[in-house]
Structure 1
Amino acid sequence: MRWLELEGAANARDVGGLPTDDGRTIGERRLLRSDNLQGLTPADVKLLVDELGLRTVVDLRSTNEVEAEGPGPLRSVGGVRHLHLSMLPERGQMTDAAADALYTRREKALARYPDDPMCALYLGYLEDRPENVVAALRAITGSPNATLVHCAAGKDRTGVVVALSLTAVGVERDAVIEDYATSADRIAGVLARLRASPTYAGDLARHTSDDVHRPRPETMHAFLSEIDRRHGGVLPWLKTHGFGADDVERLRTKLVV
């Protein structure tokens, strides 16, 4: 894993190099992850498209977020495919930047997993938008070159899709959890950018401490363990929702070297 030092994003990295349980690794320039891309500079776009070979962007934000923020700099770049695949039910003004969906549906969310509200939120993505979770994995599989998955902060919705992708192709669980938790290293910069945006400032005003938003390894461990307990693992969950063994093998071919 290496950080992508972008001027207009704080939490961008290449997950290449993560180890699989058969002794191989995730290839570089295959799967990228990031926070909001609205502030990308021309130099950032050049790095992503010309140097890293970006060809597909998977945007996990809600329709409300996308419309409020408007088209970002990558939208005008020819040859880059954009897919909008919200992880949230399309109702209200939810952005999920500060787990807004969790607050507005708190009772239902906590019933899923009372011990960790963020884990409960992540399980909700699987319940509410399984078709978009699977579509995101298909987009990664089918991209002719690098795919970048992003949301607002690049840690929750992005964290779930990336964790499922990595787990499906056999990345060691400890490495999946570590990648998720790595976003904590950049949380101050992420939140500073979001607080400067009218779209997210209101949600983030709920809390003054950055620690509330800091991803914890325990959350991803709980999330993956709950998938094991409830569904028999990531692969059975994916199969149930139409992403079967052949799809997983194609994803593995795309990501693993």
Structure 2
Amino acid sequence: MNHPFRKHPPQGAYDLWVTQRWIDLDGLVNMRDIGGLPTAGGGRTQFGRLIRSDNLQDLTQDDVRRLVDDLGVTDIVDLRADRELRLEGPGPMREVSTVTHHHHSLLRERTDESSEHVAQRALGTTPRRTRGADFWARNYLGYLENRPDSVSGALSAITGASGTTVVHCAAGKDRTGTVVAMALDVAGVPHAEIAADYALTQERLAAIIERLSRRPSYGEALATQTLADQTPHADSALAILTALADGWGGAAGWLREQGWSEQEVGQLRDRLTAP
């Protein structure tokens, strides 16, 4: 999964060096491009089409410029819950008129729950739960069961983007990982590669937790968590991919059940793979 230094020009000027697919900005810690992954038939996913990230609340003005001008970001898909958005407030990218924002919460919205409980559901920190690979896999399958509209909507936004799309939640790990895994499955990336990409977040986990712990929305929910509690396991990604394969023949079949046409599925695949 390691890739050498390289420079990739997508639709616009992509003049940031990408080291092993990580994109380092001052205001976040878990951003990477999904380009360069192998696909069935010998192809690869394209750079500059889809970027996964933790939340964008702390971006500097230079970060914003680099995302828009250098990376060609035109669309942002925010997977956080309504309460998270209200507590965190609008991020700097909301001020950019050329960027389209898509909000597709992967959590069931509850008007009667506390902010702490929203954060616990968002980060998977509900008390007295064992957090192995099976726990996270059940969490991710819950997104498909409880918010199929949002999962489908997020993937539709990626399909229709004119430039680079950034998909993010709070940590850029669970909700983001689920949507990205499904997109990569549609693109024909082998399951082992998708799982390895998902687990790559381990490299930045300590920084992710430290960053979120400073924010009032998430600090209390993370206070009793260890790195082991929050570690992304490749087996979790493999479990959801296997469930998709067994139940629908893959993510593409799941999308068809949500009303996607064969043409729309092909457009998502082409969006991520076509030169």
Give yes or no for TM over 0.5: yes
Residue in structure 1 matching 2:87, options 68, 79, 86: 68
Q: What residue in structure 2 maps to residue 57 of structure 1?
A: 76
Q: Which runs of 5+ in 1 are unaligned?
A: none
Aligned ranges 1:104-143 → 2 under 5 Å = 116-143=134-161
Work out the CA distance in 2 between the residues paired with 1:176 and 1:243: 22
TM-aligned CA deviation for residue 97 of structure 1: 4.2
CA contact (8 A) 1:97 1:204 kept: no
Q: Paired residue for 1:188, among 206, 215, 230?
A: 206
Helix, strand or coil: the match of 1:133?
helix
Separation (CA, whole Å) in 1 of partners of 2:241 and 2:231: 18
Q: Does residue 1:172 correspond to 2:197, yes or no?
A: no
- Per the normalisation by structure 2, the TM-score is 0.86
> Per the alignment, in what secondary structure is the counterpart of residue 167 of structure 2?
strand
Q: Which residue of 2 aligns with 1:25?
A: 44
Q: What are the Cα deviations for residues 47-74 of structure 1, in whole angstroms up to 9, with x where unaligned?
A: 1100000000000000010000000010
Identity of aligned residues (%): 44
CA apart distance, 1:223 = 1.4
Correspondent of 2:123 among 98, 106, 125: 98
* Structure 2 gaps, min length 5: 1-19
Letter in 1 for 2:252: L
The residue type equivalent to 2:170 in the other structure is A
- Aligned 8 A contact 2:148 2:258 in 1: yes
Q: Report runs of 4+ in structure 1 exceeding 6 Å deviation.
A: none
Task: Find the aligned partners of 1:25 and 1:245 in 2 and give their Cα distance.
Answer: 21
Tell me by how many angstroms 1:81 deviates: 0.5
| Structure showing the higher helix proportion among its residues | 1
| Partner of residue 258, structure 2 | 241
Give SS of 2:179's match.
Answer: helix
The corresponding residue for 2:163 is 145
Distance in 1, matches of 2:182 and 2:224, equals 29
Q: Does 1:80 align with 2:99?
A: yes
Structure 2 residue 247 is matched with structure 1 residue 230? yes
Mapped partners of 2:271, 2:255: distance in 1: 17
Question: Structure 1 19/115 Cα, relative in aligned 2: closer, same or farther at 3 Å?
Answer: closer
Shift of 1:42: 1.2
1:119–1:223 CA contact under 8 A, matched in 2:
yes
Would you say 1:6 and 2:6 are equivalent positions?
no
**In 1, are the aligned partners of 2:133 and 2:236 still within 8 Å (CA)?**
no
Shift of residue 203, structure 1, vs aligned partner: 1.1
Following the alignment from structure 1 to structure 2, what is the Cα–Cα distance between the partners of residues 222 and 6?
Answer: 32
The answer to whether the 8 A contact 1:59-1:86 is kept is: yes
User: Matched residue pairs, number?
Assistant: 248
| Preserved CA contact (<8 Å) 2:72 2:164 | yes
